[in-house]
C-alpha cells in the first residue's frame, strides 16, 4: 500500500521540481531541484487535495488524482502504523493499478493546470 501512495507522491515531487527548476540536468541547479522535490509535505498535500480549489480545477483527471492521493495516503497510514490493519492482495493490486493510471493521466494534463495543482498542494494558504 505504501508503494502505491509513494508512487503518486513522488510523481508530484518530480513534476514540481521539473516545472519550477527544469527537467534536464544541464542548465538547472541540482540543489534547487532537490529543494523543490523535497518540499512537498504529506499533511499539507492531503489537506490541499480535499480543498475546493483543487476540486474546482478544470481537469477531471486532477480532481480524481486529488481524491486518489487522499485515499492512498489514508491507506498508507493504516498499513504502516496500525498493526491490526490488513489488506487483501487484490485490493493492493487494484490500488497500485489505480496509482499507475492516475500518474499517466496526471502527466497528460496541460502544463497550466498542472502548475495550478502543484501551487495548491505545495504552498500553504494564508488566511
SS3 36: helix
72-88 pLDDT, tens digit each: 999 999 999 999 999 99
Q: Please give the model's pTM, rounded to 2 decimal places.
A: 0.91
- In this predicted model, what pLDDT tens digit does every residue of 16-66 receive, in sequence order? 999 999 998 888 999 999 999 999 999 999 998 988 777 777 788 999 999
Residues 6+ positions from 2 with CB-CB distance below 8 Å: 76, 79, 80
User: Given its phi and psi angles, is residue 22 left (phi above 0), alpha (psi -120 to 50 degrees) or beta?
Assistant: left
Amino acid at each position: 500500500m505504501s508503494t502505491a501512495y509513494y508512487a503518486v507522491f513522488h510523481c508530484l515531487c518530480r513534476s514540481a521540481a521539473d516545472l519550477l527548476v527544469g527537467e534536464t540536468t544541464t542548465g538547472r541547479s541540482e540543489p534547487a531541484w532537490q529543494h523543490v522535490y523535497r518540499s512537498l509535505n504529506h499533511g499539507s498535500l492531503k489537506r490541499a487535495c480535499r480543498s475546493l480549489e483543487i476540486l474546482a480545477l478544470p481537469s477531471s483527471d486532477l480532481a480524481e488524482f486529488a481524491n486518489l492521493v487522499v485515499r492512498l495516503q489514508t491507506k498508507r497510514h493504516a498499513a504502516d502504523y496500525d498493526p491490526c490493519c490488513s489488506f487483501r492482495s487484490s485490493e493492493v493490486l487494484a490500488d497500485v493499478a489505480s496509482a499507475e493510471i492516475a500518474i499517466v493521466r496526471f502527466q497528460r494534463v496541460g502544463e497550466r493546470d498542472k502548475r495550478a495543482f502543484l501551487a495548491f498542494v505545495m504552498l500553504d494558504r494564508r488566511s
